[in-house]
Amino acid sequence: MKIGLVVHGPEVVDSGGCKHILNLFQNHSIIAKLGGIMGKTAIIDAELEEIIDIKESKRPSEQIDELFTKNFDLLIILNHGKTLETGIAFGGVLISNSKRFSEIIPVIQIERPMEEDGAIFAWNESGKRILNEIEKIIKIPILSKPVTIPSRFKTESGKNFRMLVGVKPNEKIFLNNVIIGYSKSEKITIIEKNGKIIDLLGGEINPHGLEKLKKRINLKTAMIKTAKVLRKITPEMQRIIDKTLKTNKIAILFNAEKVYDIILKNVDLIISVGDDTTAIIADSASRFNIPIFGITDGDMDCLLNSIEKDFTINELGKILSLAPNSTLIRVKSGWDDKTGELIQSSIFKGKEIIEIKNDKIPVLKEKILNLISEYIVSKYEKP
């Protein structure tokens, strides 16, 4: 068989499920795609980047659409949700958001493959006809109940409502990779009007997060997830891929969504703006020995499981995965984005990437420190 595989998230990789499934299908032709920042880092740690394509930054539904243009015998969604219910709901959202989904190619989902409640199920009739054959290969039971795409979206009085499933209290609520709020119950409904989030039933809105949503929101197709941390399992080994090429390129990022796009351009330094943005970018960039210049202000949401509270800048520097020659600074509360914008306008001239000779990077750092000196509270440097 020629199989298209869409892998989602770090959990299915860190649990060993991804490598297990790939081994079971080793006698078949597989083209594997992956989306998500932490998923890419998990792929690198698991040494699977030669098998699973991590170069693209596409949503899983976009990967499904791309694979539908190819001549596959089977398309598999491989996922490890918090529960079987949330995994089914996730698959339903992908299928709903797909623009090319049809009966042409059988589509099945392998959910929580390393868990006792792991199951396989189909998203179309042609997928149902191949389930028994797949069960014989991977020895994971077929879900006994019929799978349907539940309606969790409605429109009333000019407002759009989206109900979430599988939520636990005290989780972060991500919309398009931005934390828009925090759950206070197991029933969460996001309300949007005219492209803006206006309420969060069962939870607490994060105003700072809403400020980061610059574009109009399509609540029906938005990528939404809830979690306490982005990567639950700490890998046994953090793999380092030596970066020897010097490109004289410096980047500035205000969120971590595009970090791998930037890393794969072989930049020599990443300026990261924001506490959690800095933590995630440091974790990713350190795998390639790329130093960062992180700007924080102490309002961390603790998205990595190694971070359970806010730390002093020196403590943070010792906890984060940092490449040599990295710098962390703590600025006055509420000033991380503002100082980042000042750096981008004054030094980057509004661009995301600039070129500067590698031996001039220490001079550039000094220039940045002088530019924002009045806002700096403390600094940490890793030799």
Domains located in the chain, CATH noted: 2-138 (3.40.50), 153-227 (no CATH), 249-381 (no CATH)
Give the bridge partners for 272, in sequence order: 253, 294
| pLDDT at site 36 | 66
Q: Which amino acid is at 155?
A: T
Assess contact for 75 and 154: CB atoms under 8 A.
no
| pLDDT at site 331 | 94
| pLDDT at site 370 | 96
| pLDDT at site 314 | 85
DSSP assignment letter at 304: B
> pLDDT tens string for the chain (383 positions)?
999 999 998 999 999 999 999 999 999 999 999 866 778 989 999 999 999 988 888 888 889 999 999 889 999 999 999 899 889 988 988 888 889 998 999 999 999 999 999 999 999 999 999 999 999 999 999 998 878 777 789 999 999 999 998 888 999 898 887 889 999 999 999 999 999 999 999 999 999 888 888 789 999 888 888 887 767 666 666 788 876 667 889 999 998 888 888 888 889 999 999 888 898 899 899 999 999 999 998 877 656 555 555 678 887 888 788 999 999 999 998 899 999 999 999 999 999 999 988 778 899 999 999 999 999 999 999 98
| pLDDT at site 203 | 95
CA angle, corner 151, sides to 148 and 157, nearest 5? 170
The two tokens of residue 181 are 């709020």
Q: Nearest-CA neighbor of 107 among 117, 89, 121?
A: 121
| pLDDT at site 308 | 55
Q: Which amino acid is at 382?
A: K
Q: How far is residue 283's CA from residue 287's CA, in Å, rounded to a whole number?
A: 7
